[in-house]
Amino acid sequence: MTYKMIVLDLDDTLLRDDGTISPRNKQALMAAQEAGVKVVLASGRPTYAMKALADELELERFGSYILSFNGAKIINWKTREEPFSSTLAPETAHALYEMSIQEGVSALTYVGDDIVTEQVNEYTHIEAQITGMKIAEVPSFIEAVQVPVVKVLMVEDPDKLVRVEEKLKAKLTGKLNVMRSKPFFLEFTENGVNKGTSLNHLIKQLGIERSEVIAMGDGYNDVAMLEFAGLGVAMGNAPKEIKQLADYVTDTNMNDGVAQVVESFILNDLIPTT
């Protein structure tokens, strides 16, 4: 099989634990791009928090794309055009905030380049560290959110958030997309929007078949794209459930798992045999 696109989750997949791309991963991805393979970054991160990584991999030069906010936005990194964008109405964000209060968890969203929340805690600090965005602690979430937002997060201790997820999934099925991006992050986007549906939109635009796509990830918010891609690859550090549904399991994010897949399934096919 000749693969034309590789789609990569960021945290705990492409990135090492310190948030950097290893030299081997970068070398493999640059070689793939030089050979004409599209490298696409797909993350729950806001667009702002993906810019530096997209630039490091020179996606602008190669005319590639990023899928931010768990697929709620597709951005052409060369033109900065958005062929797909999904948002939640302010009223929907307000309703989710009210649910977070009822469930005793914190809520946050993004307005401009700020993380907006009423409650600053260890989990909002983790999001700020991951994204590089500033936290705007506001007296009223509802008053601060008066424009459409791409997604809302509920953040809390993982054990508690499991119970909240089960309850709200049952309540919101068919109305909103509810998914876990990390054990302590529960994300809400427009119904039907995830990395898989966004990837489907992108490949149709580019004339690429799903069988020609490799997708790699480690988390529950990666499931849709792993199942959609021709080759769905789970990281060695992924939970057991993610590994079980994947077509292939690679090494961990700390042991160049991404590079191993690129080398084996893409670059090796480009080396002439004698």
CA 216/CA 185 separation, integer angstroms? 20
**Do β-strands 185-190 and 176-182 pair in parallel, antiparallel, or remain unpaired?**
antiparallel
For the whole model, what pTM was predicted? 0.91
Q: Where in the chain is the domain with CATH 3.40.50.1000?
A: 5-85+193-270
Contacts of 74 (CB under 8 A, 6+ apart): 65, 66, 67, 82, 83, 84, 85, 198, 201, 202
First-to-last alpha carbon distance for the chain, in angstroms, is 19
The CATH code that applies to domain 90-190 is: 3.30.1240.10
CATH 3.30.1240.10 in the chain, residue ranges: 90-190
What does the pLDDT profile of the chain (274 residues) look like in tens digits? 899 999 999 999 999 999 999 999 999 999 999 999 999 999 999 999 999 999 999 999 999 999 999 999 999 999 999 999 999 999 999 999 999 999 999 999 999 999 999 999 999 999 999 999 999 999 999 999 999 999 999 999 999 999 999 999 999 999 999 999 889 999 999 999 999 999 999 999 999 999 999 999 999 999 999 999 999 999 999 999 999 999 999 999 999 999 999 999 999 876 543 3
Contact 8, 14 (CB under 8 A): yes
Q: Which fold has domain 5-85+193-270?
A: Rossmann fold (3.40.50)
Q: What kind and span of H or E run contains 165?
A: helix 158-172
